[in-house]
Each structure stands twice: as C-alpha cells, then as structure tokens.
A and B are shown apart, each in its own frame.
Chain A
Amino acid sequence: MSSEVEDALKRIQHMKDVHGTIIINAEGTPVKTTLDDSTTLQYAALIHQLTATAKGTIREMDPQNDLTFLRIRSKKHEIMVSPEKGFMLIVVQNITEEK
C-alpha cells in the first residue's frame, strides 16, 4: 500500500512546476513531505489553520456543505489544499510568469 501512496505522490510531484507536496494528518502533523523540514512545518501549521478557517466558513454558510479544495494564489506560488477526513494534501506550485 505504501508504494501506491508513493506512486500517487510521485505523479503529482512530476507535474509541471510543482514545488512540493505535503501530506498532513488531522492534527496538522506532517506525514509525508517532499520539502525540507522547516518549510514543511511552516506550511503544515499555517495551512492547517487557514484551511480550518475556510472550512468553518463554508460550514457556517451551509451546514450541509463542505470544503473540498482550496487554492491560494500568491506572487510566487500557488498553494493547493484539499482537506478530507483525517488527512490533508498540500501542493505548492511555482508560478512562471512572463516578464
């Protein structure tokens, strides 16, 4: 099973401009990462909070609804987050912009 997880991650990682992927558990603890430790921890802690807020927002508006995917566009990166029960996958994509 572990190798299949690896494969799935590898598939994402090898897509264009992907900077890194992180899997964190429900508590925000990193499970698997392709980034370095300090960056991973930072992403894990901050994105976990943000996602919790976003999730709260969606649920507040409609208790039947739920957050499935969160994309954050910054000048340098696009951070994609998908929270599901128990885990959260974070993918950071670099932005290549024409001058």
Chain B
Amino acid sequence: MADKPVDAKGPEKDSDNKEDIKPKSKESTRPESKASSSSKTDEEKKTAPRVKSAKSKKDGKKTGGKGNTKSKPAEPKEESTEKDGGKGGQDSMIPLFISSKSQEIFQCVADEHVTEDNPHKLIPKDAIIQDMRERAAVSDFHPVKQLILDYPADEILLIYDADFKYGQNFVLVSSDEEKQRILNPVVEQAEDGSPTGEEGEAVEEIDPVVYQYVPPEPKEWVSLGSEKEIEESSWKETEQKIRITIRRARREFGGALSFSDRNADDAKDGYIECVPFEDKSFSLKIMELDKDVQAVSTYTDQGSQTVWKHPCNKYTQYAPRELTEEEQKNLLSSETLYNFLDRVTPRFELALQQNDIMDVFRDDWKELGNEDDTFGSKSDNHLKEYQSFTDLQFSRDKVLTCIAWHPSIKGIIAVSCAEKMTYDERVDNSSRIIMTQSLILIWSFSDPIHPQVRALTKPEDSFCFKFNPTDPNIIAGGCINGQIVLWDISKYVDRLKNTQRGKQSKKNAMLNVRYGRGREKPGFEDDSSDKTPVVRYCASAAIESGHRNAVADIQWLPDHMEVNRFGLMVENRNLQSCQLLTASVDGTIGIWDTRPSKSQSQTADDGKEDNPLGVATTFKHLDLTWKPIIKIHMSRLEGSGDYGPVRVSFQERQGDRHLLEKMQKEGSAGKSSIDRKDSNMGGGFGIRSGSAKEKRQLEGATTKFFVGTEDGELIYADLKLEKDPDSGKLVPPRADFVKSFHDRAINTLQRSPFFKDIVLVVGGWNFSVWKEGRESNPLLISAAASKQFTCGFWSPTRPAVFYLGTAEGNIEVWDLLDRTHEASLSQNISASEITNVYPWHLSHKQQLLAVSDNVGTLHILEVPWTLRNLTHGELTSVTSYFDREDKRLEYQEQRESVHQENKRRLDAEEAAKKIAQPPEPSTEEVDNKMRTLWLEYLEDEKKFLLDLGLVEEKEEPLPDV
C-alpha cells in the first residue's frame, strides 16, 4: 500500500507541470521531519510517564523515533497527510478499484455512466458511508474508509481511469480543493477553449454573427499558479518546536538544601566551559534575493459643483436726457452761456481759419514721389513699340478702318480691313466682283503672324465695328453698303483665351500666365488649330430698312439704358447691352434693337431660349428682317438735304450706373414688383424686352447728342421725337445748333472718360474740345496744323491727355496741362497715314496704344509711365482749366451779346436820330451859318494874337471892308 502511491507518482511525474518538480525534491527531507515530529508526539505519549534528563531524552528520541516510523498502522495516515500537505493535487488522487457491483450501486458503471471523455462522477459521501456500513470490508471503499470519513464536503469525486494511469480503474479524489479544481478546470478550460473555439468558428462561418462590444466584467480571481510562487518565496516554519516536559517529584520541592564547596576537577562534569565558536552554518551570504514590487496606480475621486444660474430675460431701456424747451430757453438767454461763448468762440475761429488756410496734416512726402519720377527720365517719355500685326494675305495694303480691344480678354484686339480705293476707283470697280474678302481680324498678342479668328464681312467692306460691352462674343459692324451685321464668336472664345502655342515670345509671358498655362490641354490641338477659323456673320439687317449708304459709326448703347420708340431713354434692368446706335452718311441715325420684337418672339422662342448664345443662329430672328426702332433724318437747318453724320456721341456711358442706382433707390419703395417682373424676364440676350410701359424713363439722362458730319459740322440734336404740329406724327426735332469749325469730315467725336460733358472733336487740320451746354464756341480749338489729323482718342487714365494720329503717320500726344498750342510729344509710327488710335488700359503697370495705318499694319505701342500715370491733382487742375475756359466763353458770350446789344442800340439811336432830324437845311442857311462861324473864328484869332502881342491892334479897322 505504501508503495503504491510512490509508483503512481512515477508516471504522473512526466505528464506533470515542471512546477511540481520542485516541491517533490523538497519532499525528500520533509517526510522525515514530519515523520519524526509525528512520531515524536507518539513517542512522548508513550514515554510520558518516564522521567529522563533532557540530554538523554533527546538522543533516545532520535533513535526511538526512527524505529517507530516503521509501525504499520500509522502508515496510511502518514501517507495521507503527506499528500494533503505537500503535494496538494496529485497526492490527493487515490487509485481505487471499484467492482462492477459497486459501480452499479453508485451508478458509475464504466463506459456507461462514466466514459473516458466524461470520467467524473460525484458520489455523495453519505452513500459511501452507508455502503461501507452495509458491506463492511467487502466495500470497495473500505481501504479509504478513514479518508472518506474525514472528507469535509458532502460529495466525493470519483474519476474513471480507463487507461489505468493510476493503476486501478477508478481514482478517488481525496481533497475538496482538488475536486473543485478538477470539476472546474481553469487551465484546462483555456486549453479546451481552443477546440470549442474552432467549433465556434465553424458555426460562425455558417451563421455570421454580428459582434458586439461587451464591456469586460470583473471576474472572480482564478489561480494561475502565482500563489505557488508566492508560497515558494515565502518562509514558513516547517519544523515543530521542541517541547520538553520536565517532571520532578513533589517531595523534592522546598526541601532543605545544603551547599558545600568542592573542587571543580573533582567531578567529571563539575565544570563545563562554553567556548564561543564560529558556527559555519550561519556564515551564509545572501547571493540572490527575490524581491517583488508591484506598482499600483492610486485613484482619487474628486468632485466639484458649480452654481447653476437660472437664465432670465432682462432688458433695460433708457432715453437720452433732454432739456425741456423752457430750460433751453432759459439757458440760451442766460448770461453764463453768453459769457462762455464769448470766451470760447475766438478759439474756434482761430482753429477753423487755420484749417482753411492750410491743411496741416497734408503729407508732403506722399506727393513727393510722384513728382520726382517725372524728372530726368527722358528715355521713358516715348511710346515704345510693343508688337505689330500684319496679315500678309488679308490685311496687307488694305486700310485698317477700325480697331477694337476685346472688352474682357486681355491681349486680344480686333481690326477691320477695307480695300484701299478712292471714291473713283470704287465707282469703277463697283460693277466688278471683288474677289478678295473683307475681314475683321482678331489678333492675339501671342501670335503676331496668324490672326486668331477672321470674321467675314459681306463682300462689302466694313468701316466700323464694336464688341458688345456686356457680351464680348457679339460683334456688331457696319458695312460700306449700309448694312448692319452681327457676328457671334462665342465658339471661338476658347481659342482666344487659349492663346499659348509654344512659340511664345518673351514679351508675352504675362499673357501666357493668364491665359495659356493650365488651360492648354496637350494633345488636344487638332491640325486645324493653325488654320485661322473664319466666322460668318449670323445676322444682317433688312436691306430695304437699313442705311442706304456706308455706315460710318456704330455703337452699343450702355447696358443700363435703352431707347424706346419715342426716343426716350428708359432704364434697362437686365444690364445687357442690346441696342445699337448707327450713323450713316445717308443722313440718318438709327437705333437698332437686337432682341426679337413682340410679333417675332413667339416663333423665335422655340427651342432657342435655353441656349441663345451657343449657336451662330443667335440672331436668326433678325436676319434680313431687322429694322431700326428709330431712324432720324439729320435734315439741314438751312436749305434742303441732310447732313451726313459720321460720328455720334451720347452722354450716357457704359458702366456708369449711378442714374440707374439712383432710380432703383427711389423706386425700390414702391415699384419693387416691377423690378422683379423685369428680372424674371431678363437673363438671356435674346429675350424680348418688357413692354415700354413697364420701363421707367431714365431720369437725369439727356436724350441730346452730338453728331459729327462728313462736312466737318458739329451738330447738337435731340433724340426725343416731337409731335409735328401739322401732321400730328412723331418726328425727330431739328438740330439745336450746327457749328462748323472743321474743314473736313469729323473723324473723332469722343467724350472724355473723366468728364461726361467734355467732347473731343477731331477733323480736318484741327481739333476742338467742346463742353456740352456751351454751344457758341469750343473750349479749345487748335490752330490749323500742317497735316491732317486722322483720328483721336482720350487717354483712359489721364484726363488732360489725348492722342491724335496724323496723315503723316505720326502720333501726337497732347497734354492740356502741359501746353495747348502744340503737342507735348510727336512720334512717327508709320510711313503712311494713321487711321485709328485706341489706347487700352491693361493694368496699372501697362497701358497699350493700338495704332493702325492704311497699309494694313496694326502697331501696338506701350504707353510710357508719364503718359499713363495720373499726376497729383491733375483731375482738379483739368476741371479748373475747363471751368476757366468755360467762364471765358461765358464772358465772351456776354460780351458778344453786350456788343450786339450796344450795336443794336447805337443803330437804333442812329435810326431814331435820323428819324428825329429835321429836313435838310437850304444852301442859303448853310452859307449864313458858315459865314458867322468864319467871322467868329477870325475874331478869336485876332484876340489870340493880340493877347500874345504878336500883332498890334490897329487903330482903325481895315478901311476897305
């Protein structure tokens, strides 16, 4: 029996954890000591009655103890205790043979109730005890009877040992802890977990489970073996303390004692010396020390509470303190106030006067820089050639009749070409078909060789064209045969914008950055990109209702206004320029509307409204049926016939919206509904206008306009139709005045960009500057120059500067503030006549001047800094200059009228005198009168001579009288 557990331990050792090895090795010493201790108690019981000396007893006990351990009945107990205390789990497994009879009794038949997979069986303790009582020694549990009786719990675990690992068919678990451990395996559970997990996975594959986050819950502490480590490192007292009982007979206590001296050497043990010695067993050095430290975070709970304020609506209202009228009156009439004012007013007067005299806060330094730059930089005073364009095929040796800068895309300029023929040549050629095309060429700065777009005119030449200011894709032009033509270049906008072609000159770097890079799509340039597209016009006016002679001037009306059929200016809330003003040498001025008329709109609306600009059929509704809404005959004031208008100028200017805004402000209160209606209708170019009733007249806008004629006259006329008293029809009024200061056709009639009422007129050999409303004379008229002026243009940035082109090919820059008798700068640009000049303000750093000549070259010049930069106070100086001139004219007019008055008066007086004079006296009377006068004279002479003493008075008068 004693061997068995040892044997059983053998195979177990291999399968057991390594941890278990240590305690076992320790065990080797332990059973002995335990055995000795347990045997000691036994020994003591036995030897209790004996009295022994301490020394002898010790010795005896040792030997005796050993002998006693061999006694058989103590053995099982010793075994059990050993297993309980030392080995825990393994030692509590007791192999047990249970017969099939017993198996039936306890319902643990092998391979029936218990199997290899499920070997555990719990049997109530009472049942075993009962069994043992009934069957006594036959009971299979008899060998472990004591164990079962001592077992603390109610149920005992039996494990079916199918493999006879422990040597028998069953194993009895003798300790409760072990039972719990086996029944609720922890480590095994984890190990077992993996196969179940695999199963779970298999299940999951079939039925995907949505995972949910389950917050971890605190679990009961489960031993993973750490307590063993703790136990190992902890120190326990294992040896039992030695207990010695010493007995002495009662009679020996309290007896009389007699002491006597004797020699220490007499007796053998008479003297015991205790010599100190070094105990080797205590000379251990601490070589290694196990120490454990665990850091535990400290937690603190803290709380704070803020006071909750209840939100509450509150308001305060206060009124300024004011004095009552009574108080005010009292104060105003008080002596103190008067005294106060008396003291204080001088200070104010002084301060106000100071401010009036000069502005002490003026920053002179700020203005210094401007002036300074103009000095000493002579080189920067000239117009510099920037670029020039000639199309060898289409523009060479032709007259460039008109220039226009693209309103929105920088670096794009359009120019129209016409045959260079005199009137006679043209007449001669009129019967022939002109083979060459007349074109408008659109140039980009990026390509000086090829124009970007060619807009084809009719076989007839175009003398003027303009970009629509609000929709620059629309170009309107007037032809020599009197037709008005419209182009739509919206298809080619990308081409204009995408001007980079790789062969860029350095000069154009600025433009490239703006238009070229980024927009260019490599690989998208088709072969035709080098070929200049030709745009055909998309509408032309009806021949019968158009002009009958060359259209000399064409203008888009500003986008904020339009002219209705009565010649009144009305507001245009769409802010879309859609009306054209044309002047033709057939003596008429026409106003055209590009929007379809009411009757046409129904048909025109179909399918066009959604994309009115995208197609070249934009103005299909106008083609060949287009009629002007007004046509004014500029009939002569004197005599019969018409004037031949070549230039027209209205006061309203594109972009000047103040009139409209003013009206909107005024009208916004009451007429907002109309605005809305209008804006609903607006949006597209081709949308027809609202009826005239809905549009309010543009207040403050004058319907009067200047007209320049081909004979050099300047006409001031009114667009507003008047009712003819005779016929009752609406007819255009006659011109207000006609002045003829120019000897040839007026080629420029332009308002200053800074002053609405200042007009530059160029024609023939001189130019003049007019102020609207001062009709007698121009503010300034130049002396006749040696060469003809062919064109003129105001500088867009300097109010005092304008450019003139001459027939000699010179460009003259006139600065009214510099000198008015001659040009401040004259520069030769071309060998032939300059036909047009057009400055364009590109940016504050660059201003370009486009100059065209009559041999087909378009020159682009760079305007020097001095000519484009507004000098300090220039505007006020120019204003005052014009005012001065105006005053001079006013005075002149006054004088003239005074003179006329005087003359008239004198004439009248004379006439009156003549009437009042008596009839002619007779000759006799005259003679008499003469005689008396003669006599009087002689008398006086005589007297005079006498006074001087030159003659002596004769005593006697002459005797012979």
* Residues in chain A within 8 A of chain B (CB atoms): 1-2, 4-6, 8-9, 11-12, 15-18, 23, 25, 27-32, 41, 44-45, 68-69, 71, 73, 78, 80, 82, 84-87, 89, 91, 93, 95, 97-99
Contact yes or no, B344 A84, CB < 8 A: yes
Cα separation A18 to B353 with both chains bound (whole Å): 11
Please tell me which one of the listed residues B320, B321, B335, B355 contacts residue A93 in the complex, with CB atoms under 8 A apart. Answer: B355
B432 on interface, CB distance cutoff 8 Å: no
Residues of chain A within 8 A (CB-CB) of B361 are 73
Please tell me which one of the listed residues A5, A73, A93, A98 contacts residue B341 in the complex, with CB atoms under 8 A apart. Answer: A5
Cα separation A80 to B352 with both chains bound (whole Å): 9
* Residues in chain B within 8 A of chain A (CB atoms): 320-323, 328-329, 331-338, 340-345, 347-349, 351-353, 355-356, 359, 361, 872-873, 875-876
Contact yes or no, B352 A27, CB < 8 A: no
Residues of chain B within 8 A (CB-CB) of A41 are 320
Contact yes or no, B349 A12, CB < 8 A: yes
Contact yes or no, B338 A31, CB < 8 A: no
Residues of chain B within 8 A (CB-CB) of A71 are 351
Contact yes or no, A15 B340, CB < 8 A: no
Which residue in chain A gives the minimum CB-CB distance to B329?
A2
Cα separation A68 to B328 with both chains bound (whole Å): 24
Residues of chain A within 8 A (CB-CB) of B348 are 12, 80, 82, 89, 91
Cα separation A89 to B338 with both chains bound (whole Å): 12
Cβ-closest 8 pairs across A and B: A2-B333, A8-B341, A82-B344, A1-B333, A87-B340, A15-B352, A29-B321, A2-B332
Which residue in chain A gives the minimum CB-CB distance to B322?
A29
Which residue in chain B gives the minimum CB-CB distance to A7?
B341
Contact yes or no, A31 B343, CB < 8 A: no
Write the nearest CB–CB distance from A31 to chain B, whole angstroms. Answer: 5
Which residue in chain B gives the minimum CB-CB distance to A3?
B333
Contact yes or no, A12 B345, CB < 8 A: yes
Given known pairs A4-B338, A29-B321, the reply for A69 and B347 (CB within 8 Å) is: yes
Contact yes or no, A32 B356, CB < 8 A: no
Chain A-chain B contacts (Cβ-Cβ < 8 Å), number: 100
Given known pairs A18-B352, A99-B876, the reply for A82 and B333 (CB within 8 Å) is: no
Cα separation A11 to B328 with both chains bound (whole Å): 20
Residues of chain B within 8 A (CB-CB) of A29 are 320-323
Contact yes or no, B342 A8, CB < 8 A: yes
Residues of chain B within 8 A (CB-CB) of A12 are 345, 348-349, 352
Residues of chain A within 8 A (CB-CB) of B359 are 95, 97
Given known pairs A1-B338, A29-B321, the reply for A91 and B332 (CB within 8 Å) is: no
Cα separation A6 to B336 with both chains bound (whole Å): 14
Cα separation A26 to B907 with both chains bound (whole Å): 74
Residues of chain B within 8 A (CB-CB) of A1 are 332-335, 338
Residues of chain B within 8 A (CB-CB) of A87 are 336-337, 340
13 contacts between A and B (CB under 8 A): A4-B338, A5-B341, A11-B345, A16-B356, A27-B321, A45-B320, A84-B343, A84-B344, A86-B340, A91-B348, A93-B352, A98-B873, A99-B876
Given known pairs A2-B332, A2-B333, the reply for A89 and B320 (CB within 8 Å) is: no
Residues of chain B within 8 A (CB-CB) of A93 are 352, 355
Residues of chain A within 8 A (CB-CB) of B328 are 31-32
Residues of chain A within 8 A (CB-CB) of B347 are 68-69, 80, 82
Contact yes or no, B875 A99, CB < 8 A: yes
Contact yes or no, A69 B355, CB < 8 A: no
Cα separation A15 to B341 with both chains bound (whole Å): 16
Most buried by A among B329, B334, B348: B348
Contact yes or no, A89 B341, CB < 8 A: yes
Which residue in chain B gives the minimum CB-CB distance to A40?
B320
Residues of chain B within 8 A (CB-CB) of A27 are 321
Contact yes or no, A5 B338, CB < 8 A: yes
Write the nearest CB–CB distance from A15 to chain B, whole angstroms. Answer: 5
Residues of chain B within 8 A (CB-CB) of A99 are 873, 875-876
Contact yes or no, A80 B342, CB < 8 A: no
Residues of chain A within 8 A (CB-CB) of B356 are 15-17
Contact yes or no, A31 B351, CB < 8 A: no
Which residue in chain B gives the minimum CB-CB distance to A2?
B333
Residues of chain A within 8 A (CB-CB) of B349 are 11-12, 15
Residues of chain B within 8 A (CB-CB) of A6 are 332
Residues of chain B within 8 A (CB-CB) of A11 are 345, 349
Residues of chain B within 8 A (CB-CB) of A2 are 329, 332-333
Please tell me which one of the listed residues A5, A28, A69, A82 contacts residue B337 in the complex, with CB atoms under 8 A apart. Answer: A5
Residues of chain A within 8 A (CB-CB) of B342 are 8
Contact yes or no, B333 A89, CB < 8 A: no
Residues of chain B within 8 A (CB-CB) of A86 are 336-337, 340
Please tell me which one of the listed residues A89, A91, A97 contacts residue B352 in the complex, with CB atoms under 8 A apart. Answer: A91
Contact yes or no, B352 A23, CB < 8 A: no
Cα separation A84 to B335 with both chains bound (whole Å): 14
Contact yes or no, A80 B320, CB < 8 A: no
Most buried by A among B328, B333, B355: B355
Given contacts A2-B329, A23-B337, 17 further A-B contacts (CB under 8 A): A1-B334, A1-B338, A2-B333, A4-B338, A6-B332, A15-B356, A29-B322, A29-B323, A30-B323, A69-B347, A84-B340, A84-B343, A89-B340, A89-B348, A95-B359, A99-B875, A99-B876
Write the nearest CB–CB distance from B876 to chain A, whole angstroms. Answer: 6
Cα separation A16 to B333 with both chains bound (whole Å): 27
Which residue in chain B gives the minimum CB-CB distance to A9?
B341
Cα separation A8 to B356 with both chains bound (whole Å): 19
Cα separation A78 to B348 with both chains bound (whole Å): 11
Write the nearest CB–CB distance from B354 to chain A, whole angstroms. Answer: 9
Cα separation A71 to B876 with both chains bound (whole Å): 29
Cα separation A16 to B321 with both chains bound (whole Å): 31
Residues of chain B within 8 A (CB-CB) of A9 are 341
Contact yes or no, A17 B355, CB < 8 A: yes
Cα separation A11 to B352 with both chains bound (whole Å): 12
Please tell me which one of the listed residues A8, A85, A97 contacts residue B345 in the complex, with CB atoms under 8 A apart. Answer: A8
Which residue in chain B gives the minimum CB-CB distance to A82?
B344
Cα separation A80 to B337 with both chains bound (whole Å): 18
Most buried by A among B323, B341, B347, B349: B341
Given known pairs A15-B349, A25-B331, A99-B875, the reply for A31 and B355 (CB within 8 Å) is: no
Contact yes or no, A89 B321, CB < 8 A: no
Please tell me which one of the listed residues B321, B323, B333, B352 contacts residue A5 in the complex, with CB atoms under 8 A apart. Answer: B333
Write the nearest CB–CB distance from A28 to chain B, whole angstroms. Answer: 8
Cα separation A31 to B337 with both chains bound (whole Å): 10
Residues of chain A within 8 A (CB-CB) of B345 are 8, 11-12, 89
Contact yes or no, B355 A5, CB < 8 A: no
Most buried by B among A1, A2, A12, A68: A2
Residues of chain B within 8 A (CB-CB) of A15 are 349, 352-353, 356
Cα separation A41 to B335 with both chains bound (whole Å): 25
Cα separation A41 to B320 with both chains bound (whole Å): 7
Write the nearest CB–CB distance from B353 to chain A, whole angstroms. Answer: 8
Given known pairs A29-B321, A45-B320, the reply for A89 and B876 (CB within 8 Å) is: no
Which residue in chain B gives the minimum CB-CB distance to A86?
B336
Residues of chain A within 8 A (CB-CB) of B876 are 98-99
Write the nearest CB–CB distance from B330 to chain A, whole angstroms. Answer: 10
Which residue in chain A gives the minimum CB-CB distance to B327?
A31
Contact yes or no, A78 B355, CB < 8 A: yes
Write the nearest CB–CB distance from B632 to chain A, whole angstroms. Answer: 39
Which residue in chain B gives the minimum CB-CB distance to A38?
B320
Residues of chain A within 8 A (CB-CB) of B336 are 86-87
Residues of chain A within 8 A (CB-CB) of B335 are 1
Cα separation A89 to B875 with both chains bound (whole Å): 37
Which residue in chain B gives the minimum CB-CB distance to A27?
B321
Residues of chain A within 8 A (CB-CB) of B320 are 29, 41, 44-45
Residues of chain A within 8 A (CB-CB) of B341 are 5, 8-9, 23, 89
Write the nearest CB–CB distance from B870 to chain A, whole angstroms. Answer: 9
Write the nearest CB–CB distance from A55 to chain B, whole angstroms. Answer: 15
Cα separation A1 to B332 with both chains bound (whole Å): 8
Cα separation A30 to B327 with both chains bound (whole Å): 11
Cα separation A28 to B342 with both chains bound (whole Å): 20
Residues of chain B within 8 A (CB-CB) of A44 are 320
Residues of chain B within 8 A (CB-CB) of A89 are 340-341, 344-345, 348
